[in-house]
Amino acid sequence: MSDTTVEFSPAAAALAEELLPAALEIIARYPEGRSRSALLPLLHLVQTEEGHVSPNGVAFCAEVLGINKAQVGAVATFYTMYKRRPTGEYLVSVCTNTLCNVLGGQEVYDELSEHLGVGHDETTADGRITLEHAECLAACDYAPVVTVNYDFAVDQATPETAIGLVDQLRNGERPAPTRGARLCSLKDMQLQLAGFADIRDGAVADGPAGAPTLRGVTLAQEHGVAVADFNPDTPITKTKPSPREENRGRVATVVDKVKGAVSSVTPGHAGKTTRAGDVKDPQTRTAEQRNPDASTPDKTGTADEKKPVPSNPAEAAGTASNQPAGDGKPAGDTARTEEAK
Ligand code: FES
C-alpha cells in the first residue's frame, strides 16, 4: 500500500479530504505490493463525489496509489463506465447491440434521443438524464433493454415505455423497474461499484429467474428434451468439483490422448512436450526464447525508455518507490517475475 502520510497536491487535496478513509479501505483489500489493482474501484469511488473522473480525480488516484497520472489516465479512458465529463443524475443506457437492435433497440434510442434533445453521452439541460447507447447489457432474453445507472429498468422496451420512464425521472419520481433493484442515483451506484454495500431496503435485486430467461428450459421440457440426472435446483458451486470417482480413469485417458496429439501433431513441436513443473512466468519464458543466452541486453523498461514526468512532489515520491520491473510494468509485478526465476 502506498504511504498513507503522503502530502497530496493541491489538485488532489479536496478529494483526499473526502475520500481518503474509503480509499484506504479499498486499498487494504489487496495484497501488499499489489495496491495498484485497487485502481478500478478507486475510480468508481472518485465518481461518487464528482459523477465523473476529472483531472483532480486522476491526480488523487495516482497519488494515493503511488503511480503516475498517465497510468491512471490509461485505465480511466479505456472503460466506458468511467465518465470523462459531468454526468446526469440518471445514466440511461439503451442497448443497440445485435439482438436488441433487431427487436427495436435502435428505434427506442432514436425516439428517446429526440424526446430528450440530447445525443449519445450528452446530458439534458436540467442535469437529470445522460443518454447513451450501449453494447450488449447482458439481458438479451429481455431485449430490447434499457438500464438506469446500470440497473435493469425497462425490459422489452418500446419507445413509449422508455419515454415514460425518463419523464418520471425528470419529474423527480423513482419509478419501479420492470425487475431488479430499485433505482438509485448514479453517485449512489458508484459507491456499490467501488465495493461498498448499499444497505437500503430493496437496493439489491433478488428472486427467481423470469420466464424469458427460462424459455429455453421450458421449450426443452415441452419437447421432452432432458439431460439425464440434471436437477435444475442444483445450487451453483463456488469451487471446482473434483472429478467423480467413476470418471477418474476416463479423464486420465483423455489427458494422455491430448498430450500425445500435441507432441506428435503440432508443427515444429514434434516430440516436444511441456515440462511438468515448469512454473516460469510466461513472459520470462518468452524472453528466454527470444534471447536464449541473454547476449543482447533487454532494453524493455530500462532508463532508455521515456518515462512520464511527475507533476508534483507526491506523484514523484510515489513513482520513485515504484520502479518499473524488467517487463516495463511497475513494481507490483516484480515479485512475480522474481519468483518465477
Ligand atoms: S443485445 Fe441487448 S442485452 Fe444483449
Say if ligand 1 is within 6 A of residue 140 CB.
Answer: yes
Asked, as a colleague might, if the bond just before 21 is cis with ω within 30 of 0, I would say: no
Strands (E), the chain: 90-95, 122-123, 129-134, 146-148, 151-154
Q: Which three cell numbers stand for residue 196?
A: 461498498
- Just give the CATH number of 90-186: 3.40.30.10
Instruction: Specify the pLDDT at position 218.
Output: 87
Q: Residue 64 corresponds to which cell in the numbers above?
A: 494515493
Q: What is the rounded CA–CA span in Å between residue 335 and residue 259? A: 31
Those residues whose C-beta lies under 8 Å from the C-beta of residue 131, and which sit 6 or more positions away, are: 92, 94, 109, 112, 113, 116, 118, 119, 120, 121, 122, 123
Cα 146 to ligand 1 centre (Å): 10
145 lines ligand 1 (CB under 6 A): yes
Q: Tell me the CA–centroid distance for residue 178 and ligand 1, in Å.
A: 16
Q: Residue 209 has what pLDDT?
A: 80
Distances (CA, A) of 187 to 149, 235, 257, 316: 9, 34, 54, 31
Burial 156-182 (b: 16+ CB within 10 A, else e): bbebeebbebbeebbeeeebebbbbbe
Any atom of ligand 1 within 6 Å of the Cβ of 98:
yes
Q: For the chain, which residues make up each domain, given as ranges?
A: 10-76, 90-186
Q: What is the pLDDT of residue 176?
A: 83
Instruction: Output the pLDDT for position 296.
Output: 55
Question: Does this model's pTM top 0.75?
Answer: no
pLDDT of residue 327: 44
Q: Which of 132, 140, 150 to mutate to test the pocket of ligand 1 (most atoms within 8 A of CB)?
A: 140
Q: Which atom of ligand 1 is nearest to the CA of 144?
A: 2
- Tell me the CATH class for 10-76: mainly alpha
Ligand 1 near 76 CB (within 6 A): no
Q: What is the pLDDT along the chain (341 residues), one digit of tens a residue?
A: 444 567 899 999 999 999 999 999 999 999 988 999 999 999 999 999 989 999 999 999 999 999 999 999 999 999 999 999 999 999 999 999 999 999 999 999 999 999 999 999 999 999 999 999 999 999 999 999 999 999 889 999 999 999 999 999 999 998 888 877 778 889 989 999 999 987 777 676 667 788 888 888 888 888 888 777 777 677 766 655 554 555 455 444 444 544 444 444 344 443 333 344 445 555 665 666 665 565 555 454 444 556 666 677 766 666 666 655 444 444 444 444 444 44
